[in-house]
Chain A
Amino acid sequence: GQNIDQPTEMTATEGAIVQINCTYQTSGFNGLFWYQQHAGEAPTFLSYNVLDGLEEKGRFSSFLSRSKGYSYLLLKELQMKDSASYLCAVRDSNYQLIWGAGTKLIIKP
């Protein structure tokens, strides 16, 4: 079966750095996505990785290792508004998105 694993919940302090991990087992791989979803709102696109390595976009970076079936989302200089759920999704060989259950990130002052 296909599976995406990510921690259910994480807590971090304002101004700090947090890393949210995602591991996957899918039938084929055609890219990995990270989305942010604030409570009661739509998921919004953060990043896309298809090749190994680190993609940096402002305070957010996403890393991919295809051989390990592993990705992480790194958030720097955390702000209270970063409190949200972070969804990892992998596009499989049929170009269908397989989603993780999301990681709820709680930022404390």
Chain B
Amino acid sequence: ETGVTQTPRHLVMGMTNKKSLKCEQHLGHNAMYWYKQSAKKPLELMFVYNFKEQTENNSVPSRFSPECPNSSHLFLHLHTLQPEDSALYLCASSPGTGDTETQYFGPGTRLLVL
């Protein structure tokens, strides 16, 4: 039990659809992250929130829109996606963003864009 949950676990969507991914952490952490994981590629950091404030946006296309209403919840809103956006989207949390902070991951949402 990692304490980080993600829904849905699997999602198939067309390029014109709008959907949202949800992440919730039950660990009392202050930082939350969105990562993209493609097959045989390194994890790509997309967004970082610390105390509900976005601190990192790694040149992510605007078709991905994050939302962090509080320190426990993180959303990733998706619209007009491309087939190359198909991947595993992982959410993580950590107590803070300092050098020794360990990130705890959710199980991910497997996304397929048709």
Contact = CB atoms under 8 A, between A and B. Distances in A.
Interface residues of A, number: 25
B99 A42 contact: no
Contact of A95 (B4, B43, B98): B98
Interface in B41-61: 41-43, 45, 56
B82 interface: no
B107 A50 contact: no
A42 B43 contact: no
B15 to A, nearest CB: 25
Contact of B41 (A30, A35, A96, A101): A101
A102 B42 CA distance: 7
A42 B56 contact: no
A35 B2 CA distance: 13
A44 B2 contact: yes
A98 B97 CA distance: 14
Interface in B24-54: 40-43, 45
B108 A42 contact: yes
Contacts of A50: 99-100
B42 A100 contact: yes
Given A87-B43, A97-B45, A99-B43, A42 B102 contact: no
Nearest to B6: A42
A43 B100 contact: no
A67 B107 CA distance: 35
Contacts of A42: 2, 4, 90, 105-108
Given A31-B99, A31-B100, A98-B42, 7 more contacts: A40-B110, A43-B90, A44-B105, A48-B102, A95-B98, A97-B43, A100-B42
Interface of A: 4, 8, 30-31, 33, 35, 40-45, 48, 50, 87, 89, 91, 95-102
Interface of B: 2, 4, 40-43, 45, 56, 90, 97-100, 102-108, 110
